Structure 1
Amino acid sequence: MLPDEAPPANRSASVPSPQKIIIRGGRLVDADRHVAPPTDILIIGDSIAELGPPGMPAPSDARVMDAGSRLLHPGFINAHTHGMGNLSKGTADRWSLELLWVGAASFMANQNLEIKYLNTYLGAVEMLLKGCTAAYDLTFGYPLASVEEMSAIGQAYVDAGMRAVVAPMLADLSFYQAIPGLLEAMPDRLRREVAAYDEAPFESTLAMMRESLHGWKHDREQVRLGVAPIIPLHCSDALIAGSARLARDFGVVLHSHVAESKVQAVSALKRYGKTLTAHVDGLGLLGPDFTVAHGVWLDDDDMRRLADHGCSVAHNPASNMRLGSGIADARRMLELGVNLGIGTDSANCSDNLNMYEAMHCASMVSNVQGPDYTRWLRSEEVLNAATIGSARALGFDKIGRIAPGYKADIVFLDLEKVNWIPINDPTNQLVLTEDGTSVDAVMVGGRMVVEKGRKVGCDMTKLARDAEAARARLASLNEGAKALGTQLEGLVGSFCVGLSNAPYHIHRYGHAH
C-alpha cells in the first residue's frame, strides 16, 4: 500500500451505496405476447436488477414505489429528430422536403448558443412528457457547427435528464448546389443571393467534428456524439468518406438522410449514375453503426446492402406524409433483415415529438400499401421498432427493454385514463390507442424526471416565456431570409415537382402510378 493511500475500509465507507427501489403493483407490458402481467421490479442504482411476481423479496433498504393502476413500458427511443426545429412547430403548411430547405434559414439562422440550448431543451421536455427517454438528434451545422454549440446542446439533454445522441449535420454543398440543374434554372439575381448559403470546406467541418469528439465532456452513458453527413447529395465524396473514418476512429454512430424524397432519388441517378445507397456503400459509409433516415425511396438492392452491412433505418412515417415524400416500405425492410427504428423527425415537419403518434402512423401507413393484410406491420413489430430497434440505431445496448441488466428507463401510464378503459390488449392499445395523455410518470436511469404528468424541475411558465421571446427574436432577425424563401418557393417548387415526375423504377407515393 502506498503511504498516502486510504485503508480499504475507509475507502469503501466513503462511497455511498447505490439507491435501491422496488416498484410494486404495476403491470408490465410484454409486447410480443400482448399481455401485461402484474410484475415487481427491483432497481439498484441506475439499472434493473430483477423482475418478479407481486410481493417478490427485496432488500430491506429498498424504497417502495407504488405503481398500482399503472401500466409500465420501456421508454421510447426517438430514432430521428432535429433539436433545432422545436421553436418552429407549425411554421408552414404545404411544405415539401425541398421547400423546407428553401425556408430553412428563416428558422435556423441567427440562433445563438442560448437559443440553441433552449430549442433543444424544449424538445427534450416534450419528449419526456410523452414517454420518450432517448433521442437521436441531428442538430446544428448551420452555417457551420461549432464545438461550443455541441457542448451546449448536449448540456440541454443532461439538464432535462434524457439520453441522446447529438449528431451535427455536416455538409460542404448547399441545397442549391446539391440538386442538379437547380442553380442553372435560377435568374442571375437569385443565384447570387443563394450563394450566401454555400457551405464551409469539408476540411474545416471534419476538423470541428474531430475536436468535438476528442473533447466531449458529457457522460457518454447519457449523452454522446454521433457523426451525420446530412444528405449524400449535400456532401462531397471526401466529406462522406472522412465522416465514416472519423466515426470509426472514435467508435461513434453515423446517420444520414438517404432517399428521403423522390427528388433525392432522381438526383442521385443524374449525379452518380446509381442510387444514393450504392454510392455511399462505395465510400465506406455502411456498417452496423450507420442509420439511414427515412429511406422512402430505397429499392430492394438498397435494402439488401443495408441489411448485409447490419445498418438501421429510422422510419419517420408522419414526416414522410407531412412533406409528401411518400410511403416507406417498412415491411420489405424487415423482410430483408434491416434493423428498423421509429422517429418523429423535426417539430417543423412533423409538428410534435410524440412517439405514440409516430407508432400509430407507422401502423396505419403500413395498412394502406395494399390489401394483403398479412403484410401489414403488426403492433408488436411497431412497438419493438420504437424501443429495441431504435436503441440499436443509437448505439445504446442497455436501453429499450425492461429486463435485468438494462437501464431503468421506464414509463408509467395511468390505467384510469380513458385510453385504457377497458384494457383489451396492451400492445395494441399502446400503438393504436394511446396518444401520450396517459403518461403519469417517467423514470430515466432510476431517477424520476416526470411525476404526476409534470416535468420535474422545469418551470413551464418560464419555458413558455423564454420560447416566445426567442421565437420573436428569430422572426425579426430572419425577415430577409423568409422573404427570399418566398421568392424562391415557386421556382424551386416547380423545378422539384418536375424532377419528381421523372420515371423511376420504384413507386412510393400514395396515388396510382
Structure 2
Amino acid sequence: MIIRGGRLLDLETRAAPFQDILVADGRIIQVGNPGLDAPATAEAIDAAGLLRHPGLVKAHTHGMFNLCKGMSDRSSLELLLVNAPAMIAQHSAEMKHLSTYLGAVEMLMKGCTACCDLTFGFPFATIDEMVAIGQAYIDAGMRAVVAPSLADRSFYKAIPGLLDHIPSSLKAATAQHGSSSPHDGIRMMGQLLRDWPHERDRVSLGIAPVIPLHCSDGLMTDCADLAREYAVVLHSHVAESKVQAVSSLTAYGNTMTAHLDSLGLLGPNFTVAHGVWLDDDDMRRLADNGSSVAHCAGSNMRLGCGIADARRMIELGVNLAIGTDSANCSDNQNMYEAMRYASMASNVRGPDYRRWLSSPEIIRAATQGGAYALGFGDIGKIAPGYRADIVFIDLNSTNWMPLNDPANQLVLAEDGTGPKHVIVNGAFVVKDRRHRSCNLEDLSVRVEAARERLMELTLPARNVGAALEKIVGDFCIGLARRHYHIERYAAPLGQ
C-alpha cells in the first residue's frame, strides 16, 4: 500500500511535514516526499487531514483486570494485593480471554499497537489459560508479550512481620491463595516456552517473577535461566511502593535492585515495572546492564506509591518506557493519558523546568523505549525496515485545532478520541474509529454477563478482603512512615 496526503510526526523538528509511506508485506519500505514512487498495483490510502505516528508501545499492563475497572477507591498497592484474589481468582480461561480481548480492543482504538501483559492465576496461570490470553491478542489484531506472573510466597509472607499481625481467625483465609512450589511454575513455564502455538513475532512470551519479595531466590534465578535459554524478556515489579523498599532492606539487607543484581537477573532483557523508589545506585545498576523501567505515573499516583524520578533515570542511562498498569488501578488503558501523566508527574518534582521531561522524550519512551523493553526490535518507528504499526490522528478533532506543536499536542492535548485509523503489520485493525472485527454492542453484553457472574463467585473473597483492609492498611502505613534514604512522596509524611 502507498499512504499519501498525510502529515508525519517528526520528533527531531517538532513538526509534521507531509510525507508518503510505502508499505509491503507488513513492513515500511520507504518514507518520502509527496509523490513518492510506488508500484502501480499498490493500494492507495488517502491520509489527507491526518497525522501519522508510530503505534504506541505499552510497557506494562495486566490484561486479566480489564473486567475490574472502577472497582476500587482509595486503595494502596498493598490493599490492591489483598483484594486481587477477589477480583481474579475465579477467572476461567474463557473469562481471561474475554478480559484480555476487551483491553486489547480498547488499546487499539486508543492508538496502542503493542503491550507487555503480566497475567495472573492462583497459584499461576495454566498453559490453557496462557494460550487463551495469547489468542485474545491474535483475535484483536494486536502485538503483545504475555508473561505469566510467578511467585512462591504469598503477599502476607512477603512483607516481613505482616503475618504476625493477622488475627488467627483470618489466617486460614490468607493461606488459601498462598504460595506454590517454585518447581511447578518453572515446569509450566518451560513447557509453555517450548510449545507456544502462536506466531512469536505477533504474540511472544515473557517471564514475570511478579515481585521479588514474593519469590524465593531460587525461583528468581530459575526464571533468569529460562529467560536466557529461550531469549525472552524478564519483567518484575521492583521498588513500586515504599512498603516494598523498606521491606527489602529487612529481607535482603539491601535494596531490591541490588539484590536482583547479585542474583544475576539484570540485563538488556530485564524491565523494572514502576521503579518509584529506585535510588541513584539502583538506576546505575539498571543502566550498566542495559535494563529498562516501565514508568506508570498514573498508577503510581492512583495507588499512592509516589512519583518516580524519570529524569534521573534518563540521565543515568536507563531505558525509559511508559505503561498504564492494569484497569483496577489505572481504570482505562489509554496511553495518551499515560504520557500526559508522565509529563505532569515530572513537572511537579521540582521548579527547574529544564529538568522536566519534554514531549519528544515522553513520545520516544512510549514508542522506541517500549519496543526495546518488549524485545521487539522492529517496531516503535515509522522508518524503512520497521513493521507498519501506524496510527492516524484526525486533525479535525478539536484537540488539534489549531495545529501548533504536534509533539506537545500528542502528549498534552490528545485524549484517545483522535485515532481514526490504526494499522498493525500493514493491515487496518481500526478503520473510521471502529474496530474492524469487534462488535462493541455484543462485547458489552458478554462483558456484563461475566461481571455479574464474577460478583457472585467472588463474594466470599471480597468479604475477607474487607475484613483485612484496616489490619493490613494500618500495618503498611506504619512501614511507609519509616525512614528511607530517598523521598518519592509528594508531601512530607503526616500531611
TM interval, short-chain normalised:
over 0.9
**C-alpha displacement of 1:163:** 0.2
Question: What SS class does the counterpart of residue 50 from structure 1 fall into?
Answer: strand
- The question of whether the paired residues in 1 share the 8 Å contact of 2:273 and 2:295 is answered with yes
Deviates more, 1:428-437 or 1:136-145: 136-145
Could you tell me how far apart the structure 1 residues matched to 2:5 and 2:269 are? 39
1:125 corresponds to:
105
Deviation per residue, 1:244-271 (Å, 9 max, x gap) = 0001100100000000000000000011
- The question of whether the paired residues in 2 share the 8 Å contact of 1:103 and 1:482 is answered with yes
- The question of whether the paired residues in 2 share the 8 Å contact of 1:145 and 1:208 is answered with no
1:50-199 matches, cutoff 5 A? 50-199=30-179
**C-alpha displacement of 1:133:** 0.1
Deviation per residue, 1:408-457 (Å, 9 max, x gap) = 00000111110111000000000010001111000000000001101011
Say if 2:429 is the partner of 1:449: yes
Say if 2:344 is the partner of 1:364: yes
RMSD over aligned Cα, in angstroms?
0.6
2:411 corresponds to:
431
1:409 corresponds to:
389
Could you tell me how far apart the structure 1 residues matched to 2:484 and 2:450 are? 43
Query: What is the one-letter code of the residue matched to 1:339?
Result: N
**C-alpha displacement of 1:189:** 1.2
Say if 2:186 is the partner of 1:214: no
TM-score, L = length of structure 1: 0.96
Question: What SS class does the counterpart of residue 94 from structure 1 fall into?
Answer: coil
Could you tell me how far apart the structure 2 residues matched to 1:261 and 1:144 are? 23
- The question of whether the paired residues in 1 share the 8 Å contact of 2:159 and 2:247 is answered with yes
1:23 corresponds to:
3
Question: What SS class does the counterpart of residue 408 from structure 1 fall into?
Answer: coil
Deviation per residue, 1:128-178 (Å, 9 max, x gap) = 000000000001232222111111100000010000000000000010110
- The question of whether the paired residues in 2 share the 8 Å contact of 1:144 and 1:199 is answered with no
Partner residue of 1:284 out of 257, 260, 264: 264
1:288-367 matches, cutoff 5 A? 288-367=268-347
- The question of whether the paired residues in 1 share the 8 Å contact of 2:88 and 2:121 is answered with no
1:481 corresponds to:
461
Q: Which runs of 5+ in 1 are unaligned?
A: 1-20
Partner residue of 2:213 out of 233, 238, 245: 233
Say if 2:233 is the partner of 1:253: yes
Deviation per residue, 1:364-403 (Å, 9 max, x gap) = 1100000011100011000000000000000000000000
**C-alpha displacement of 1:284:** 1.1
Deviates more, 1:192-201 or 1:490-499: 192-201
Query: What is the one-letter code of the residue matched to 1:153?
Result: I
1:6 corresponds to:
none
Could you tell me how far apart the structure 1 residues matched to 2:464 and 2:492 are? 35
Deviation per residue, 1:288-327 (Å, 9 max, x gap) = 0000000000000000000000000000000000000000
Which of the pair has more CA radius of gyration? Answer: 1
Question: What SS class does the counterpart of residue 172 from structure 2 fall into?
Answer: helix
Query: What is the one-letter code of the residue matched to 1:354?
Result: N
Could you tell me how far apart the structure 2 residues matched to 1:497 and 1:330 are? 25
Could you tell me how far apart the structure 2 residues matched to 1:72 and 1:179 are? 46
- The question of whether the paired residues in 1 share the 8 Å contact of 2:240 and 2:277 is answered with yes
Query: What is the one-letter code of the residue matched to 1:146?
Result: T
Could you tell me how far apart the structure 2 residues matched to 1:220 and 1:192 are? 41
Could you tell me how far apart the structure 2 residues matched to 1:432 and 1:349 are? 21
Could you tell me how far apart the structure 2 residues matched to 1:196 and 1:189 are? 13
2:249 corresponds to:
269
Could you tell me how far apart the structure 2 residues matched to 1:33 and 1:307 are? 28
Could you tell me how far apart the structure 1 residues matched to 2:18 and 2:175 are? 61
1:460 corresponds to:
440
Query: What is the one-letter code of the residue matched to 1:449?
Result: V
Deviation per residue, 1:166-195 (Å, 9 max, x gap) = 000000001011000000011111112211
Question: What SS class does the counterpart of residue 374 from structure 1 fall into?
Answer: helix
**C-alpha displacement of 1:32:** 2.4
1:43 corresponds to:
23
**C-alpha displacement of 1:209:** 0.3
Could you tell me how far apart the structure 1 residues matched to 2:122 and 2:237 are? 16
Query: What is the one-letter code of the residue matched to 1:256?
Result: S
Question: What SS class does the counterpart of residue 31 from structure 1 fall into?
Answer: coil
Question: What SS class does the counterpart of residue 25 from structure 1 fall into?
Answer: strand
Question: What SS class does the counterpart of residue 197 from structure 1 fall into?
Answer: coil
Could you tell me how far apart the structure 2 residues matched to 1:273 and 1:304 are? 19
Could you tell me how far apart the structure 1 residues matched to 2:273 and 2:119 are? 14
Could you tell me how far apart the structure 1 residues matched to 2:401 and 2:53 are? 18
Could you tell me how far apart the structure 1 residues matched to 2:138 and 2:370 are? 20
- The question of whether the paired residues in 2 share the 8 Å contact of 1:75 and 1:131 is answered with yes
Misfit runs of 4+, over 4 Å: none
Question: What SS class does the counterpart of residue 349 from structure 1 fall into?
Answer: coil
**C-alpha displacement of 1:512:** 3.0
Deviation per residue, 1:308-358 (Å, 9 max, x gap) = 000000000000000000000000000000000000000100110000000
Could you tell me how far apart the structure 2 residues matched to 1:198 and 1:282 are? 27
Question: What SS class does the counterpart of residue 340 from structure 1 fall into?
Answer: strand
Q: Alignment identity in percent?
A: 61
Q: Which runs of 5+ in 2 are unaligned?
A: none
Deviation per residue, 1:22-81 (Å, 9 max, x gap) = 000010001121000000000011000001111111111101000000000000000000
- The question of whether the paired residues in 2 share the 8 Å contact of 1:71 and 1:414 is answered with yes
- The question of whether the paired residues in 1 share the 8 Å contact of 2:152 and 2:180 is answered with yes
1:378 corresponds to:
358
1:7 corresponds to:
none
Could you tell me how far apart the structure 2 residues matched to 1:365 and 1:32 are? 23
Deviates more, 1:58-67 or 1:139-148: 139-148
Question: What SS class does the counterpart of residue 176 from structure 2 fall into?
Answer: helix
